């Protein structure tokens, strides 16, 4: 997760010949961009894998490939490769 830039880092990114309003716009844009990246990183960390909306499709693939029906439980591994390796136990 990236931290917010320091005042010196923002100043180094602004051209020396930039007017005050240009410098403020550059600093605001950089801060907004970095804040968006930080929010996106936090949102990615909060997501936990689940079978929501995918259990029945996976059960259908198991049936099509193995010829037997299986009930994919909520406790089954959410990684398809791991779940396929445990298909005999579903």
What is the residue range of 73's domain? 55-89
Is the same domain home to 37 and 68? no
Q: Is residue 28 part of a domain?
A: yes
Q: Is residue 1 part of a domain?
A: no
How many domains, in total, are found in the chain?
2
Taking the model in full, what pTM does it have? 0.41
| Rounded Cα distance, 90 and 2, in Å | 41
Q: Is residue 2 part of a domain?
A: no
Q: Is residue 24 part of a domain?
A: yes
H-helix or E-strand spanning residue 35:
helix 20-46
Contacts of 79 (CB under 8 A, 6+ apart): 49
Q: What is the pLDDT of residues 22-71, one digit of tens each?
A: 988 888 888 888 888 888 887 776 666 666 777 778 778 778 877 777 77
Instruction: Name the one residue in this structure whose structure tokens are 């591994």.
Output: 77
| Rounded Cα distance, 76 and 85, in Å | 11
């Amino acid at each position: 997760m990236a931290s917010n830039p320091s005042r010196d880092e923002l100043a180094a990114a602004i051209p020396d010949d930039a007017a005050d309003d240009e410098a403020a716009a550059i600093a605001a844009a950089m801060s907004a961009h970095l804040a968006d990246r930080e929010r996106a990183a936090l949102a990615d960390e909060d997501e936990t894998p689940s079978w929501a909306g995918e259990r029945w499709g996976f059960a259908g693939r198991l049936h099509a490939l193995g010829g037997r029906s299986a009930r994919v439980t909520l406790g089954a591994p959410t990684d398809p490769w791991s779940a396929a390796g445990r298909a005999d136990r579903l």
